[in-house]
Chain A
């Protein structure tokens, strides 16, 4: 079968969930060959093998951490040359999309960004995109070159499938452009202990209606009772009540959980762009006319400071 390159998103050897989803999707179109770069690359192999990687290319070099994007493009290009894959799949993070784009240009191939599904087709893989704030679904394919496709988190269920996962060192020679943009310092994001926003099965979000940073405790308590991630609208972020890294929407994260609970959020188009593909949507809002209610499977018209704590208590009791 044809080989499909999968770019591995990992932090010091810990593979992030979207990569495991990519391995599942890659198996629909060929044999997954993973490419893991940077510190801890070798440690990714066993989990990649458990999820279907027939081979794992690894390469460690300081350049991956010290310079932006281009060293990773150089490496991925070396992997493309080594296996002539049927497609290249990359997680749709901000960085992933940039890596994929530059690679695609170098290998004279089209790129599809933010796919939410992927199938084998007569003329190569067909990607599904959810566009215009998820109001349209398109089917797109790459018509020139080797399809380069970035896939959004939560686009497939992770499936285990044991494969050889033979580790092989990738030979990479860095281009002149590789050292163009220096990373002069890096501050890792502090872990909250909650699930990653884009990977969580349940997301509990708060908006302007939460009315203050200290009140986000109400949202966090509900999230913790459900084992959920916490999201926020841009209004809440701009007011300084919650970090930007938790913003859901067009210019924040796009999430696609099993359950999304919007509290004190009106449902502006830019917010919907980031959560409309959630499987089940629930909202609490005191304004019965709020546009968010057009989207919901279940809505409560009421004050979130009454409804949310009561819900949290009830969840705890039922789980207790």
Chain B
């Protein structure tokens, strides 16, 4: 038996940098260094753990849709231990929204062949948290999403989803789409050996024509949503800061009373 896992990983601008929009109201990717979305490290980690806990032959492919630099995200995932990588890159992808992204991912996953898709809970830039559900809908397979704990055994995936009002145990048969939260377990650091090995691992590049997708279906033009304006939030006016010299709590109470909170 063999198990083919595809892990979707997004290349995003570093959240600790000064992120901005470009003139066409897409994310300015030149302004801030990019990296593998930290929440996708958890997806790679869970794929590696599923592989380590399995008696089957497991092959882990990492997949990204993004510009040339997105290879960095693939390299990071490969150095953590994934086996091979697919990079979907095409100039016509610039400005693609969540619908278009899920289309490209679903086509690429189908082409690659899969038993299990593992994604992060959300990207750290768009932060929508909807791409895994969309990919599942497109692939016509169960979604087992937002898991804080995941296991694969006997052709089924099980996991725990901690929701707003309840914690649920979920189960679905493969093939399926899984997404994991940052509660699923710390992601490992690439070892030196892993980093060296990653350099020799295959990275395939596909463009839209490889996936049978027309340019009009994606990109800014093909997006089903339109950003009309983006404005930097005005800096908060400097607040009052006091040093506690024994009366800090009382001073704060005075302030809160003045604001009618007490």
Q: Which residues of A approach B to under 8 Å, CB–CB?
A: 11, 68-70, 93-95, 97-98, 100-102, 104-106, 108-114, 126, 130-145, 177, 180-189, 198, 202, 226, 244-245, 250-251, 258-259, 269-270, 273, 280-282, 284, 288, 293-303, 306-315, 318-319
**A136 contacts B231, CB within 8 Å?**
yes
- Whole-angstrom CA separation of A145 from B244 in the bound complex: 56
**B129 contacts A97, CB within 8 Å?**
yes
Stretch in B47-55, B161-169, B187-195, B201-209 touching the partner? B161-169
Q: With a CB–CB cut-off of 8 A, which chain B residues contact A105?
A: 99, 102, 134, 137-138
Q: Any chain A CB within 8 A of the CB of B89?
A: no
Q: With a CB–CB cut-off of 8 A, which chain B residues contact A110?
A: 97, 99, 223-225
Q: With a CB–CB cut-off of 8 A, which chain B residues contact A308?
A: 249
Q: Any chain A CB within 8 A of the CB of B64?
A: no
Size bracket, chain B contacts = 35 or more
**A319 contacts B262, CB within 8 Å?**
yes
**B130 contacts A299, CB within 8 Å?**
no
Closest residue to A282 on the B side, CB-wise?
A: B252
**A186 contacts B168, CB within 8 Å?**
yes
- Whole-angstrom CA separation of A282 from B144 in the bound complex: 39
Q: Any chain A CB within 8 A of the CB of B15?
A: yes
Closest residue to B229 on the A side, CB-wise?
A: A139
- Whole-angstrom CA separation of A306 from B243 in the bound complex: 12
Closest residue to B13 on the A side, CB-wise?
A: A132
- Whole-angstrom CA separation of A182 from B138 in the bound complex: 19
Q: Any chain A CB within 8 A of the CB of B58?
A: no
Q: With a CB–CB cut-off of 8 A, which chain A residues contact B166?
A: 186-189
**B231 contacts A311, CB within 8 Å?**
no
Instruction: Name the distance in Å between B163's Cβ and chain A's nearest Cβ.
Output: 6
**13 A-B Cβ contacts within 8 A?**
A104-B224, A110-B224, A132-B19, A137-B230, A143-B223, A186-B166, A226-B261, A251-B121, A259-B256, A296-B236, A297-B239, A300-B244, A310-B247
- Whole-angstrom CA separation of A20 from B255 in the bound complex: 31
**A306 contacts B244, CB within 8 Å?**
yes
- How many cross-chain pairs have Cβ atoms below 8 Å apart between A and B? 264
Closest residue to A103 on the B side, CB-wise?
A: B137
**A132 contacts B256, CB within 8 Å?**
no
Q: With a CB–CB cut-off of 8 A, which chain A residues contact B261?
A: 202, 226, 258-259, 280
A-contacting residues, B122-161, CB 8 Å: 122, 124-125, 127-130, 133-134, 136-138, 140-146, 148, 158, 161
Q: With a CB–CB cut-off of 8 A, which chain B residues contact A142?
A: 224-226
Closest residue to A100 on the B side, CB-wise?
A: B130
Given A94-B129, A184-B169, is A318 in contact with B143 using a C-beta cutoff of 8 Å? Answer: no
**A112 contacts B162, CB within 8 Å?**
no
**B239 contacts A296, CB within 8 Å?**
yes
- Whole-angstrom CA separation of A198 from B130 in the bound complex: 20
Q: With a CB–CB cut-off of 8 A, which chain B residues contact A98?
A: 129-130, 133, 143, 145
- Whole-angstrom CA separation of A105 from B128 in the bound complex: 15
**A140 contacts B143, CB within 8 Å?**
no
- Whole-angstrom CA separation of A63 from B21 in the bound complex: 43
**A126 contacts B168, CB within 8 Å?**
no
Q: Any chain A CB within 8 A of the CB of B2?
A: no
Closest residue to B255 on the A side, CB-wise?
A: A298
Given A139-B228, A182-B172, is A298 in contact with B252 using a C-beta cutoff of 8 Å? Answer: yes
Q: With a CB–CB cut-off of 8 A, which chain A residues contact B25?
A: 138
